[in-house]
Amino acid sequence: MDIEIDEYVSLISYKSDKILVLCGNLSEQTGKTETNILMEIDLKNETYRKTELPFTPSGAWVYNGLAYFGHNIGILCSYKELKNTNQVLVILDKEGNILEETEIYEKDTMCNISPSPDGSKFTYQTGTSPVDLKLYDLKNKTSKTLSSSEDAYCISSAWGQSSGNLYYITYEENSNKYTLHVLEKDKL
């Protein structure tokens, strides 16, 4: 299946047989780069569709995460015209309608969101150096630090789809060592 994407690509996310692509182009009206198109590619049926987002931050750099939250789509923005906060997680349905907006207050930029299998929580990385791993609970609107060290950087996290466990990898620069950590679902 070959698909040509005429716009530039900002972020990509994958789940099962589907791929999300956040893309955009230069606005003729404003002369600014606008990342306002969400493309979903169905690999199984070899189809795709594009949806215009109901909001448009100015510039691609303001998007810090894209992922499926259950059957919905989550986009993490460091700035969004609809809110006066530094970071917002916007949950959209398949048609691009906003279902939920959650303002998240972090002193550092958030990136690399990874939602739990049921979409009720997600991990994200924040900080400049070291890179910390945090967990955000969408129901309780709370966050907690899972990994924070001056010696070890969290470089990646992912959830076990059937177990619900959280897996993450840290890198210790001094010893050049990578470590896989497992947090069981009932301890999160």
**pLDDT tens-digit readout, 124-170:** 988 766 689 999 999 999 999 998 887 788 988 999 989 999 999 99
pLDDT average, residue stretch 176-187: 94
Task: With cut-offs at 50, 70 and 90, classify the pLDDT of residue 8.
Answer: confident
- Site of tokens 């059957």: 71
CA angle 8, 14, 19 (to 5 degrees): 55
CA 92/CA 78 separation, integer angstroms: 17
Q: pLDDT tens across 103-122, in order?
A: 888 877 788 889 999 999 99
Looking at residue 82, what is its pLDDT?
A: 44
Cα 145 versus chain centre, distance: 17
Same domain, 186 and 128: yes
Same domain, 141 and 98: no
For residues 79 and 172, the model is more confident at 172
CA 130/CA 133 separation, integer angstroms: 10
- List the domain range (segments joined by +) for residue 87: 1-105
Name the domain boundary from 79, 105, 131: 105
Same domain, 45 and 133: no
Omega prior to 130 cis, within 30 of 0: yes
CA 66/CA 40 separation, integer angstroms: 12
Using the predicted structure, report yes or no on whether residue 27 has a pLDDT greater than 80.
Answer: no
pLDDT average, residue stretch 25-51: 85
Same domain, 80 and 115: no
Same domain, 127 and 59: no
Same domain, 91 and 156: no
Q: pLDDT tens across 52-83, in order?
A: 888 776 555 577 889 999 888 898 886 555 44
CA 21/CA 10 separation, integer angstroms: 7
Q: How big is the chain, counted in residues?
A: 188
Same domain, 117 and 54: no
**Do residues 149 and 170 make contact, with C-beta atoms less than 8 angstroms apart?**
yes
Using the predicted structure, report yes or no on whether residue 89 has a pLDDT greater than 90.
Answer: no
**Do residues 165 and 157 make contact, with C-beta atoms less than 8 angstroms apart?**
no
Tally of domains in the chain: 2
Same domain, 8 and 101: yes
**Do residues 68 and 55 make contact, with C-beta atoms less than 8 angstroms apart?**
no
Task: With cut-offs at 50, 70 and 90, classify the pLDDT of residue 16.
Answer: confident
Q: Can you point out the beta strands (E) in 27-176?
A: 33-42, 47-52, 63-69, 72-77, 88-92, 98-103, 110-115, 121-126, 132-137, 142-147, 152-159, 166-172
Count of C-beta atoms within a 10 Å radius of residue 173: 12
